[in-house]
Amino acid sequence: MSGNSVRLDAISKTLSYQLPKAINYTEEPTGKLFATNVFSLPVMKERLSKEVYKSLEKTIKSGTPLDISAADAIASAMKSWAMEKGATHYGHIFYPLTGLTAEKNDSFFSPDNEGGVVSEFSGATLMQQEPDGSSFPTGGIRATHEARGYTAWDVTSPAYLVENPNGLTLTIPSAFVSWTGEALDKKTPLLRSMKALNTHAQRVLALFGHKKIGMVTATAGAEQEYFLIDRNFYMARPDLLTAGRTLFGAPSPKGQEFEDHYFGAINERVQACMYEFERELFKLGVPVKTRHNEVAPAQFELAPVFENSNIASDHQQLVMNVLQKVSAKYGFACLLHEKPFAGINGNGKHVNMSLGNSTQGNLLEPGDNPHSNAQFLVFCAAVIRAVHKYSTLLRASVASASNDHRLGANEAPPAIMSIFLGDQLNDVFEQIKATGDASSSKPSGTLTVGVDTLPPLPKHAGDRNRTSPFAFTGNKFEFRAVGSSQSVARPIMIVNTILAESLDYIATKLEGAADFNKAVQVLLKEIMVEHGAIIFNGNGYSQEWHEEAAKRGLPNLKTTPEALPAYITPEAIALFEKYAILSHDELESIYEVALEQYLKVVNMESNLVVEMSKTIIFPAAVRYQNQLAQTCANLKSVGYTFDTDTLDKVTALVKLLQDSTAALEKFKASESLELLEEAKFVCANTLPMMLEVRKHADALESFVADDLWSLPTYQEMLFIK
Ligand code: ADP
Ligand code: MG
């Protein structure tokens, strides 16, 4: 086998990999592990007094504030439970605006002043902590006040134990707010949005005559795509290590064109790793359900059963953490980046969403009687109106430097937001739009809203459209533009908010209507006429759609700097303030932090391109150039001629590499630019310049002698495990 020693070493280590000691799954069946590390409702019921449990359950199930007097009792029960299992530390876990997970841990133990220690954990400590959060970005919110940030226990999301071979930490899901009460995290707005959604969904349900209406919760199930590559290759690629994606790399002779990986048999080591993912997640109460190979080689997917979207969002962060942690144990690096490899499908995170309650069930379930159909059509129309009216907010919620490489790249939905309804539901809404009451003739009969039943709507496959960013899939919508590495909290928060606004609008229009059925028909028609342009059932990847969408006036915000200003339009500010989900300041802070993040990523990547080009690629190229030149000189000296074709090409490429690298290195945005201008500037200049360097480097990769090339190739990373 040829190859550079770094690569050969990585290959041989990969090939000699031995699986860790097998899990004894008969002795400890995975099914029995579910939620064993969670301070769950059943555990609370067992360990709390009836009174305290009732008050806590009420808070969790109906969103009422927790009775403070219960906190001490809960803290004490939580501490004993955790310590019985071996925990020594506790900490609030929170989700700062950067989208990462943050925590600070404290020991349960304090000196007792008599030479020993006591374990302490009061209700006050459970409820609130003050981590030194001054280094978390706030987009300026705190610069003007004080650097204090508080974490507050989110009572609705259960505490859990995080295992480490050397100990356990009691982890308490929390919100993170400034001392003036502004949200510095992603959970707080999500919770606020769920509250608003509940309020207005309940109003609409009441109009349909329901007497008993349970709290309506948003539900979410996020499918997570990821790559697993051997850590030995990962460690030999500074770009993967630092940027999470390859900044260089010629295409593999075999890519994904055979599509032979999709749903294929799963490699044994990968499967062993998946079993452990699932066990670890099960212990944490994350209901993981589905696993399979994805389209790209070395790409996989994992999906849980849906949950209340606040919990689903916390669990999604856990999924990402556990994937990283467990894959390392199996010698893999788990790549969650949206586009780890150019020319190969990237990673998405399809977030399935609906809303429902214990009394009326899933509100996006079409049902099979006219009454529930009309109700379904109203909720569905609310989604249509919301997505059309606020499509730029949805777009902003998935905007990041990394997702820009994926959206619109013929593998993922375009940056144009649209809704896919499927043929039958589309037909129903087309009839509504044309006649007001969907009474035209159709294959399954004539439909009048509120009188007839809908034709059966397909729930699964067959009628699937992978190209749509927001697709109706039988009883839920699937937001497919979400990035694989991002937190789902914000996209869900945006959907909840815009849907709450639509439901508010609908409820306000229908309340007090003399003839309810008629009013529903009129309203549905109005919504379709005004907002039907968002519906598109065709191929979202096609050029025709881009043209058609432009004609329909649907925004196509291709890059993050174009997408982010949607957060701070007067319309957005009014929307979020009206429902008390985000203040003007909080929106400004979200916007600024997202811009800063974008700039940091692009700048870091550009520095990395320069460094790798100068210290890895250029040296390999000139060594090869030198070998060719020496061969040429040697041959000449004994009277032979040497075809310098390769030497000429390599020399030309070396020059191009050097020049493009020097240009990128020198290139700096002017410091006087505003953040947005700077982001636009680097988007338009730095990114293309990075690609220019890459172009020459990748061309050199196909010339330079294999034994001089130290970066693991696409072929090696994607196919050897
Ligand atoms: P498909 O594979 O066709 O996309 P699945 O039925 O496998 O659909 O569901 C995909 C994801 O959607 C899963 O995480 C599932 O739990 C979630 N899901 C199903 N119903 C709902 C719902 N009512 N609300 C939110 N998510 C849901
Ligand atoms: Mg799906």
pLDDT digits (tens, 9 = 90+) for 335-364: 999 999 999 999 999 999 999 999 999 999
pLDDT at 262 over 50: yes
Q: Identify the band that residue 450 occupies on the pLDDT scale cut at 50, 70 and 90.
A: confident
pLDDT at 19 over 80: yes
SS3 (DSSP) at 481: coil
SS3 (DSSP) at 433: helix
Handedness of CA 376, 378, 379, 384 (dihedral sign): positive
Distance from residue 550's CA to the centre of ligand 2 (Å) = 28
Residue with more model confidence, 510 or 101: 510
Determine what percent of the chain falls in helix, strand and coil, rounding each to the nearest 5. Answer: 50, 15, 35
* Ligand with minimal distance to 222 CA: 1
CA-CA distance, 337 to 486, in Å (whole number)?
A: 9
Residues 511-540: tens digit of each pLDDT: 989 999 999 999 999 999 999 999 999 988
Residues 126-176: tens digit of each pLDDT: 988 887 666 677 776 655 445 678 889 999 999 999 999 999 999 999 999
Q: Alpha carbon of 279 to those of 137, 289, 320: distances in Å?
A: 34, 11, 14
Residue ranges of alpha helices (H) inside 511-644 are 516-531, 543-551, 560-563, 570-578, 584-612, 618-637
Min mean pLDDT across 231-240, 523-532, 667-676, 702-711 is at 667-676
CA-CA distance, 171 to 158, in Å (whole number)?
A: 9
> What are the backbone dihedrals phi and psi of residue 419, each rounded to the nearest 5 degrees, phi first?
-115, 135
Q: What percentage of the chain carries pLDDT values higher than 70?
A: 94
Residues in the chain: 721
pLDDT at 67 over 90: no
pLDDT at 634 over 90: yes
Mean pLDDT of 488-495: 98
* Residues 159, 129, 309: CA angle, nearest 5 degrees: 40
CA-CA distance, 438 to 434, in Å (whole number)?
A: 8
What was the pLDDT predicted at 145?
47
DSSP 185: B
Average pLDDT of every residue of the chain: 91
What was the pLDDT predicted at 441?
44
CA-CA distance, 627 to 646, in Å (whole number)?
A: 11
Residue ranges of alpha helices (H) inside 306-407 are 309-329, 370-389, 391-397
SS3 (DSSP) at 169: strand
SS3 (DSSP) at 5: helix
* Burial degree of 631 (CB within 10 A; 0-12, 13-18, 19+): middle
Residue-range domains of the chain with CATH:
34-185 (3.10.20.70), 187-218+361-579 (no CATH), 598-719 (1.20.120.1560)
- Ligand 1 atom nearest to 223, measured from its CA: 14
Residue ranges of alpha helices (H) inside 208-291 are 231-235, 238-243, 268-283
CA-CA distance, 156 to 215, in Å (whole number)?
A: 13
What was the pLDDT predicted at 471?
94
Mean pLDDT of 466-486: 93
List the residue whose alpha carbon is closest to atom 19 of ligand 1.
306
Mean pLDDT of 448-457: 79
What was the pLDDT predicted at 382?
98
What was the pLDDT predicted at 438?
54
CA-CA distance, 505 to 489, in Å (whole number)?
A: 24
List the residue whose alpha carbon is closest to atom 17 of ligand 1.
221
SS3 (DSSP) at 395: helix
* Ligand with minimal distance to 461 CA: 1
DSSP bridge pairs for 356: 217, 362
What was the pLDDT predicted at 598?
97
What was the pLDDT predicted at 58?
87
List the residue whose alpha carbon is closest to atom 3 of ligand 1.
460
Q: Which amino acids bring their CB within 6 angstroms of ligand 1?
A: 219-221, 223, 290, 303-306, 352-354, 362, 460, 473, 475-476
SS3 (DSSP) at 163: strand
* Ligand with minimal distance to 356 CA: 1
Distance from residue 218's CA to the centre of ligand 1 (Å) = 13
Q: Are 256 and 355 in contact (CB under 8 A)?
A: no
> What are the backbone dihedrals phi and psi of residue 533, each rounded to the nearest 5 degrees, phi first?
-60, -15
